Structure 1
Amino acid sequence: MHAIITTTGQDRVGIIAGVSAAAAERNLNILDVSQTLMDDFFTMIMRAEIPGESVDMAELQRHLAGVGERLGVVVRIQSTDLFTAMNEI
């Protein structure tokens, strides 16, 4: 299963490291990453592979949201299917 992790918020040192470490703690393999800085606003999108068949997306979201809170950013995770459906025009 693949997922999209989005991160947004005020730029600061350690965002990429913190979110990447949180993904690694849950054995997620980051396949692709794109990040942009607009003035002091940080945005990042990661595509990650989630191992195994049964994944508790709610638990993953809580874990990443907690890391985001400590970093002062908003972190969300969605399956690629849901992300694509929500962002297609």
Structure 2
Amino acid sequence: MRAVITVIGKDKVGIIAGISNTLAVSNVNILDISQTTMQDVFTMIMLVDISNMTISFTKLSEELEKKGEEMGLSVRIQHEDIFNSMHRI
């Protein structure tokens, strides 16, 4: 099972490390990552494998949001099928 994580906020040192660590603690594997900085705005999309995570999806979402708040970022996670349905033209 896969999910999509989006991260948006002011660029600073440690964003990828902070989010990656939160995922690693819950046994979530990063499959693909795309990030860019436009002027001082950081954006990242991660495709992750949640098949073997050690906590519930809801708890993971809460942990990512909490980490985002600590870092001044907006962090959201969605199941891949929901993400794809929402972004179909």
TM value normalised by structure 1 = 0.93
1:2 counterpart residue number: 2
Residues 36, 42 of structure 1: 8 Å contact kept: yes
1:47 counterpart residue number: 47
1:36 counterpart residue number: 36
2:19 counterpart residue number: 19
The share of aligned pairs that are identical, in percent, is: 49
2:58 counterpart residue number: 58
Residues 11, 37 of structure 1: 8 Å contact kept: yes
- 1:51 is displaced (CA, Å) by 2.3
Q: After superposition, what is the alpha-carbon deviation per residue over 1:54-83, rounded to whole angstroms, capped at 9, x for unaligned?
A: x62221110000011111101111010011
C-alpha distance in 2 between matches for 1:50 and 1:29? 7
- 1:52 is displaced (CA, Å) by 4.1
C-alpha distance in 1 between matches for 2:17 and 2:29? 14
Q: Which runs of 4+ in 1 moved over 2 A?
A: none
- 1:49 is displaced (CA, Å) by 0.3
Unaligned runs of 5+ in 2: none
Unaligned runs of 5+ in 1: none
